[in-house]
Amino acid sequence: MVVDVQRNGQSLAWQGFSLLNEGSKNTWSENAVVVTLPDDLQPTDIIKIYAWNPSKIPVFIDDIRIEPMAPAEN
C-alpha cells in the first residue's frame, strides 16, 4: 500500500507499506498502518492512497477504512 501526499503535482511525502503477513497465504488477514502527514499540509494538497503490487501474484483487498486521527500530544 502506498500513501503519497502531493502539492502542485509534486510529491511531498511518499510512504510504502507491505501488507504481506507471513502465513496468511490463501486467507484474509487484517492490516493497519499509521501515516504521519506533513506539518504544513494545505487544503489544496492531494493525498493518494493506493495498492501497489510489483509481483505477478494476484492480491485481493477488501473493506478499506481510512480514519483521521488527532496529532499525538508532545
Per DSSP bridges, beta strands 46-50 and 10-16 are unpaired
Q: Could you write out the DSSP letters of every residue in 19-40?
A: ---TT-TTS--------PPPTT
> Across-strand partners of 6?
11, 46
Confidence of residue 65 (pLDDT cuts 50, 70, 90): confident
The whole-number average pLDDT for the span 40-49 is 95
On the question of pLDDT at 2 being above 70, the answer is yes
Confidence of residue 24 (pLDDT cuts 50, 70, 90): low
Per DSSP bridges, beta strands 2-7 and 46-50 are antiparallel
- The mean pLDDT of the chain is 86
On the question of pLDDT at 63 being above 80, the answer is yes
Indicate the pTM of the whole model. Answer: 0.78
Residue pair 63/19 in contact (Cβ under 8 Å)? The answer is: no
